Structures are given as C-alpha cells and as structure tokens.
C-alpha cells in the first residue's frame, strides 16, 4: 500500500538545501528577500536592497540552482548550463538578473549577473541564436555571496534597457557611479 504515495527525489533535497544556504548567506541588514510563487517564469527570488533603513525599489531578480558537484574549467571558472529561455527572460528585464549557483557540499553561493556577463562577453549573444536549448556561462570563483560584500548592492542600483539582444545597455543613476 505504501507505493501509492508520492516519492521523494534527490533533486528536491538539493534544491531545498540550496535555498536554505542562499538565505543563510544573504546579509539580512541589507536585503529583504521574496521567494516567487505561482507559475515558473524563470525567477525564483527577488531580493530588495535596504538603504538607510528604506526601500528605494532597488531589486535583483534571480534564479537559485543547487549542485553537489561543480564543473570547473582549467582557468578556475565554473561552467554552468542555462536554458536559453531563462537567459532571454533575464536579458529582457529592466532589473538585474543574477544566477545564484549554490555548492551544497561546501555551502558556498556563487553568483553571475547575467546582463553584466553578456555586456562583458558580447559574442555570447550569438550563442543565444545558435543554441536552441541551452548555453554555457562561466562564473568567476571569486564571485561568492557573503555578508559585507557590496558588489550585489551596487548591482541592484542598475537598470537595463534594450535587451535581450546586442542593443542591451546598462543605465546608471548619476549618483551611483561606482563600478561593480
């Protein structure tokens, strides 16, 4: 009779663990986080920056992916495959979109700002056209989410226009001229 119940799977365990590690590594003094519910439109979470105790509508949309084994390239970067649909969705938005890759074994959260990655690697736009299902992105192993790191805070202040193609550009408020 027990075989009629739904079965658990390892992917669910990794996903649950990844979300827990992500929340643990998020600086609660600087970020409010909202998990997306309902239909999956490629966004798992939205984190909103808290500045001077106020919400100023500075947000990052993101997708959390958990893995037990990461694929390291010879140069030390981490290779990860993303659905082209996810990348197109990310590049088409105004808010920064970040892939949060969680190494559940080491409890480390790597991140890749998708729009910035494509602005830094414009040849990747061609890969979106040529690859029908997925595209490989490469994450800097030093892009690790941790309390006190202000790179994500600065990223939240950016707005993007012209995506998802080569006309993508970053708009920076004149008062926010720091580089990521």
pLDDT digits (tens, 9 = 90+) for 106-151: 999 999 999 999 999 999 999 898 877 999 999 999 999 988 789 9
Please report the pLDDT score of residue 157 as a whole number.
94
Q: pLDDT band at 179, cuts 50/70/90?
A: very low
Per-residue model confidence as pLDDT tens digits over 24-76: 999 999 999 998 776 666 889 999 999 999 999 999 999 999 999 999 999 99
What was the pLDDT predicted at 41? Answer: 67
User: Pairing state of beta strands 97-103 and 158-161?
Assistant: unpaired
Would you state the torsion angle of the CA atoms of residues 8, 46, 109, 165, taken in this order, to the nearest 10 degrees?
A: 110
68-94: average pLDDT: 96
- Position 2 scores a pLDDT of 66
* Alpha-helical segments (H) within the chain: 10-25, 84-91, 114-120, 124-130, 151-155
Q: What tokens does 93 get?
A: 């938005």
Task: Name the residue with higher pLDDT: 101 or 128.
Answer: 101
d(CA 177, CA 27): 23
| Residue-level pLDDT at 36 | 78
CATH number of 7-172: 3.40.1350
Q: Which of 138, 161, 125 has its CA nearest to residue 73?
A: 138
Identify the residue whose tokens are 């729009």: 115
- Residue pair 155/170 in contact by the 8 Å Cβ criterion: no
Give yes or no for residue 177 having a pLDDT over 60.
Answer: no
Task: Answer yes or no: is pLDDT of 90 > 90.
Answer: yes
Measure the CA–CA gap between 97 and 100, rounded to whole angstroms. 10
Residue 164: which of 90, 65, 107, 62 has the closest Cα? 90
Pick the range with the lowest mean pLDDT from 2-11, 52-61, 167-176: 167-176
pLDDT at 146: 87
Average pLDDT on 80-87 reads: 95
Mean pLDDT of 139-164: 93
CA gap 111, 102 in Å, rounded: 8
For tokens 């079965």, the residue is: 7
């Amino acid at each position: 009779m027990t075989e009629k119940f739904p079965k658990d799977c390892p992917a669910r365990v990794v996903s649950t663990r990844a979300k827990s590690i992500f929340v643990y590594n998020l600086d609660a003094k600087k970020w409010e986080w909202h998990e997306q519910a309902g239909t999956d439109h490629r966004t798992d979470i939205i984190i909103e920056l808290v500045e001077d105790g106020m919400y100023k509508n500075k947000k990052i949309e993101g997708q959390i992916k958990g893995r037990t084994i990461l694929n390291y390239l010879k140069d030390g970067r981490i290779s990860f495959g993303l659905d082209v649909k996810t990348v197109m969705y990310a590049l088409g938005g105004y808010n920064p979109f970040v892939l949060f890759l969680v190494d559940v074994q080491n409890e480390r959260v790597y991140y890749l700002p998708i729009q910035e990655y494509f602005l830094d690697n414009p040849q990747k736009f061609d890969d979106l056209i040529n690859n029908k299902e997925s595209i490989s992105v490469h994450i800097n192993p030093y892009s690790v989410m941790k309390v006190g790191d202000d790179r994500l805070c600065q990223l939240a202040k950016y707005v993007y226009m012209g995506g998802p193609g080569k006309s993508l550009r970053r708009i920076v408020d004149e008062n926010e001229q720091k580089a990521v």
